């Protein structure tokens, strides 16, 4: 059976949908932005947290656990880039090869131990994994003290991101 709707009623209905839809999306976006801001304020690096989460489109739909996961995945991506930098530098700088090798082992632990622990474990293990990342990046920074450090930016970024991730995930405990 076909339902007869007047064209006037249909126009009013469509107009109502158009008018209500943007406000609904704005309300949801405002709520999501408020969650991100509230969570980032609880971290040791508000600006890094905010820029990391806002640069990921999935953050707008994420809960606290999802926001933590996004930062963990960013730690993973930046650690992978750091490992690639170490490999390149070790080929071009035989003088730093030993120290780079030690740092490579630390980044290998980040990618094969700490990040998987954070990705798959309960929140307590995830926090521990991210704190482990912060420790080994600090060690890697110390390995190059007194030398012109080839990895200062990536080491510091991975370190800071890992502390942001640990802080976000701590909200789940």
Tell me the domains of the chain and their CATH numbers.
46-170 (1.20.140.40)
pLDDT of 88 reads 86
Convert 25-46 to b/e letters by CB count within 10 Å (16 or more is b).
Answer: eeeeeeebeebbeebbeebebe
Phi-psi label, residue 146: left if phi above 0, alpha if psi -120 to 50, beta otherwise: left
pLDDT in tens, the chain (173 residues): 445 555 555 445 443 344 444 444 444 445 457 999 999 999 999 999 999 999 999 999 999 999 999 999 999 999 999 999 888 888 887 778 888 898 999 999 999 999 999 999 899 999 999 999 999 999 988 887 766 656 778 899 999 999 999 999 999 99
- At residue 89, the pLDDT reads 85
pLDDT for res 31: 45
Give the DSSP letter string of 72-122: HHHHHHHHHHHHHHHHHHHHH-GGGHHHHHHHHHHHHHIIIIIHHHHHHS-
């Amino acid at each position: 059976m076909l339902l007869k709707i007047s064209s006037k009623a249909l126009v009013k209905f469509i107009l109502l949908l158009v008018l209500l839809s943007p406000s609904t999306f704005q309300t949801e976006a405002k709520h999501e932005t408020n969650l991100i801001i509230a969570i980032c304020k609880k971290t040791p690096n508000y600006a890094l947290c905010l820029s990391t989460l806002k640069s990921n489109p999935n953050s707008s739909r994420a809960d606290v656990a999802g926001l933590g996961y996004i930062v963990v995945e960013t730690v993973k991506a930046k650690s992978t880039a750091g490992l690639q930098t170490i490999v390149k530098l070790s080929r071009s700088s035989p003088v730093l090869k030993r120290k780079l090798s030690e740092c490579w082992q630390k980044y290998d632990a980040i990618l094969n131990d700490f990040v998987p622990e954070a990705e798959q474990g309960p929140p307590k293990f995830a926090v521990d994994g991210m704190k482990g990342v912060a420790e080994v990046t600090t060690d890697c920074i110390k390995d190059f003290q007194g030398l012109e450090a080839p990895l200062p930016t990536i080491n510091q970024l991975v370190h800071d991101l890992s502390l942001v991730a640990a802080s976000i995930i701590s909200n789940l405990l």
